[in-house]
Amino acid sequence: MQPIELLLTHPLPSSPRQGELDGFVLHKLWEAADPDAFIAQIGERVRGVIASRPTPINEALFNRLPNVEIVSNFGVGYDQIDVDAATRHGVVVTNTPSVLDEEVADLALGLLLATVRRIPQADRYLRDGQWLKSSFPLSASLRGRTVGILGLGNIGLAIARRLSGFDVGIAYHSRRQRTDVSYRYYDSPGALAEAVDVLILIVPGTAETRHLVDAALLEKLGPNGILINVARGIVVDEQALIKALADGTILAAGLDVFEREPNVPAALIEADNVVLLPHVGSASEPTRGAMADLVIANICGWFSDKQVVTPVNQG
């Protein structure tokens, strides 16, 4: 019996289940000098894909992998995968929800505090010897603020639980009002932005959420407003945000994600009222290992008895 052949778009972090892939033939796309020629050579033999952003998994790729059965995505977000195309081709798509919720929520709170209290700026001030000349300027505060969460799914709930210990107001908008929380619900993103002075984004990156945060919404957030994005870069109109930060439409922003990663606009890098992180929301060794475990569990489950742990579609 021939071993099953898999295409890996990016390296997987080490995990306790790594050895379970030893029985497969692993084709490593990132090592190919010519990725197109590489796929042309192996495409008909590939039965599974282990995927990760930003490599697109789309109709064109499915046409080149006629025997693929499963795409096991490394990440809870799967915006780089055309799930409709996968379904048309009879391909099951899986992702890695839940195992990264707490890590991303921790990062969101850290990014919020760093942005409000200007922690990276203060660090640079000290390192540059400026403290020897004068005290660091006073920062804004989290005290007295109301924090809005745009997207109250599992990660949003984990963020809200952490915020409850900071004595701030908490409000939210989601596609549907939840019946299991007491936080104030607003029926639109704009209404939420008008009611809060911190807005945390934790919605999927889809065609529907592209540029959900635009110039009009930033205007509603106001000159004391702080935007925190731990969702996807496309949720924010980046040029509108740059202008809003420059002209005082909002006070500050903390960003872990960007529209064209890893390319970050120079205007954001140069701005002093922005805290920037290189998309590290889930990037701890334990969490990335747990995500890799789930990727492998989905692959092995499918090829052992056609069962997966975390399906996105039915294939």
| Residue showing tokens 């403290």 | 131
Q: Does residue 234 contact residue 210 with C-beta atoms inside 8 Å?
A: yes
Which of these is catalytic: 31, 88, 124, 261? 261
In sequence order, the 6+-apart residues with CB closer than 8 A to the CB of 6 are 21, 24, 25, 26, 27, 46, 47, 48, 49, 50, 299
Which one of 232, 238, 259, 288 is the catalytic residue? Answer: 232
Peptide bond into 137 cis (omega under 30): no
Q: Measured between alpha carbons, how far is 257 from 208 in angstroms, rounded to an integer?
A: 18
- The string over 48-66, giving b where at least 16 C-beta atoms fall within 10 Å of a residue's C-beta and e elsewhere, is bbbbbbebebeeebbeebe
Residue 89: active-site member? no
Q: Identify the helix (H) or strand (E) that includes residue 47.
A: strand 46-51
44 is catalytic: no
Q: Specify whether 127 is catalytic.
A: no
Catalytic residues: 232, 261, 279
